[in-house]
């Protein structure tokens, strides 16, 4: 499965309060059939607004103003979200259900490999955190609840339709992403809540591709499994950086079309730009290995050595 255009789920300020048609018609969770307190779980989902200086490298692609959701995961105001909402953020504000004034937050970490980010509230949130669960045993057909910020009005009853590899155009790949349907239109940082009431994933993308074994195309979402967080959690909280060996990064956006890899964009002042990559270029091989799909390209790129290695 490959990336799609409009891969991020943030919205300009204020639009998260509008009732999207997909949300209005989606099935709602049935509190009576759940084994946990749904309203308590949904209260842990907060709104995030981030401002980014226009000179930052992600401002041109993700915008200087971003809005989405985050999930409170400890008693001290630690909030987990999808990284593209808060990467390079200068200011972060947090909106809490039932609280008139927003709370000041600070972006404390971002991990490109998992796609996750963290925010810490400066003032007390007084919110019971949502426990971290696991998506390790989730399979197609499992029931889940998906929610952005906004309580029950933002919650939908959904199901897992696939567990499979995902590769995105921005040098990103997950081995075992969670794909769900129906679509939640405010997916950026949304909570994927498992049958046990614990957090199983964080909303990352909108997709409309064949999902599941039947091959039907239907709107849905991709979630980063919470299991991607657990090995790097301590690093992200304590230092804001993950201590794993950094991968090579070229700084090109690549799309897979009919077994051909085409460059769709190049990050300013990146190794790719300095090497002469331009939009519409084709990538035929990496380190002499022919590649015609994103997973193979990434495996060849990351298998060439650590960040800083020269790549052919």
**Contact 191/45 with Cβ under 8 angstroms?**
yes
Q: What is the mean pLDDT of residues 260-269?
A: 91
User: Count of CB atoms within 10 A of residue 281's CB?
Assistant: 16
Q: Check pLDDT > 70 for residue 9.
A: no
| Structure confidence by residue, pLDDT tens digits, 132-151 | 999 999 999 999 999 999 99
Q: Six-digit token pair at 91?
A: 């200011």
Q: Six-digit token pair at 157?
A: 């009853």
pLDDT at 4: 33
Instruction: List, as own/partner pairs, every contact residues 272-279 make where C-beta atoms lie below 8 angstroms and the sequence separation is at least 24, other chains included.
Output: 275/250, 277/250, 277/252
List phi, psi (to 5°) of 3.
-70, 165
User: CA 191 → CA 11, 123, 249, 276, 284, distances in Å?
Assistant: 17, 22, 29, 40, 38
In order, the DSSP letters of 95-141 are E-TT-SS-EEEEEEEEETTTTEEEEEESS----PPPPB---TT--TT
pLDDT at 6: 37
Of residues 5 and 16, more confidently modeled: 16
User: Count of CB atoms within 10 A of residue 216's CB?
Assistant: 11
What is the rounded distance in angstroms from the CA atom of residue 231 to the CA atom of residue 163?
Answer: 20
Question: Which residues in the chain are classed under CATH 2.40.10.120?
Answer: 1-244
Q: Six-digit token pair at 21?
A: 């048609």
Of 183-187, 217-221, 289-293, 304-308, which gets the smallest average pLDDT?
A: 217-221
User: CA 245 → CA 144, 249, 300, 302, 307, distances in Å?
Assistant: 34, 12, 16, 11, 8
Domain 1-244 falls under CATH 3.40.50.300:
no
- In the chain, % of residues over pLDDT 90: 78
pLDDT at 3: 33
User: CA 170 → CA 7, 162, 292, distances in Å?
Assistant: 10, 22, 16
Cis bond leading into 102, ω under 30°? no
| Structure confidence by residue, pLDDT tens digits, 83-100 | 999 999 999 999 999 999
Global pTM? 0.90
pLDDT at 134: 98
Q: Please list the residues that pair with 168 across neighbouring strands.
A: 172
Tally helices (H) and strands (E) across the chain.
7, 17
Which ranges of the chain does DSSP label H, i.e. alpha helix?
A: 21-25, 38-43, 59-62, 83-86, 233-238, 271-275, 294-302
**Contact 206/6 with Cβ under 8 angstroms?**
yes
Q: Check pLDDT > 70 for residue 13.
A: no
User: Count of CB atoms within 10 A of residue 257's CB?
Assistant: 10
- Cβ within 8 Å of residue 198, ≥6 positions away: 130, 131, 132, 133, 134
């Amino acid at each position: 499965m490959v990336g799609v255009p409009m891969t991020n789920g943030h919205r300009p300020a204020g639009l998260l309060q509008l009732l999207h048609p997909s949300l209005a018609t989606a099935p709602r969770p049935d509190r009576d059939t759940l084994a946990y307190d749904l309203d308590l779980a949904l209260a842990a989902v907060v709104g995030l607004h981030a401002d980014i200086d226009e000179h930052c490298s992600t401002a041109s692609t993700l915008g200087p103003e971003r809005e989405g959701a985050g999930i409170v995961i400890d008693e001290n105001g630690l909030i987990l979200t999808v990284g593209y909402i808060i990467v390079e953020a200068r200011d972060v504000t947090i909106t809490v259900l039932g609280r008139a004034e927003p709370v000041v937050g600070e972006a404390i970490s971002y991990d490109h490999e998992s796609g996750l980010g963290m925010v810490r509230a400066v003032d007390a949130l007084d919110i019971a955190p949502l426990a971290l669960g696991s998506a390790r045993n989730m399979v197609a057909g499992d029931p889940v609840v998906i929610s952005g910020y906004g309580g029950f009005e933002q919650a939908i009853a959904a199901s897992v339709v696939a567990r499979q590899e995902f590769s995105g155009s921005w040098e990103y790949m997950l081995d075992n992403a969670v794909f769900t349907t129906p679509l939640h239109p405010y997916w950026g940082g949304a909570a994927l809540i498992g049958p046990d009431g614990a957090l199983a994933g964080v909303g990352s993308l909108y997709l409309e591709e064949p999902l599941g074994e039947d091959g039907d195309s239907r709107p849905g979402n991709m979630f980063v499994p919470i299991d991607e967080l657990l090995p790097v959690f301590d690093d992200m909280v304590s230092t804001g950086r993950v201590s794993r060996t950094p991968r090579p990064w070229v700084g090109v956006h690549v799309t897979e079309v009919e077994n051909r890899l085409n460059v769709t964009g190049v990050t300013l002042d990146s190794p790719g730009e300095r090497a002469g990559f331009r939009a519409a270029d084709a990538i035929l091989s990496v380190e002499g290995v022919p590649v015609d799909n994103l997973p193979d390209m990434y495996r060849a790129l990351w298998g060439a050595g650590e960040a800083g290695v020269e790549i052919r």
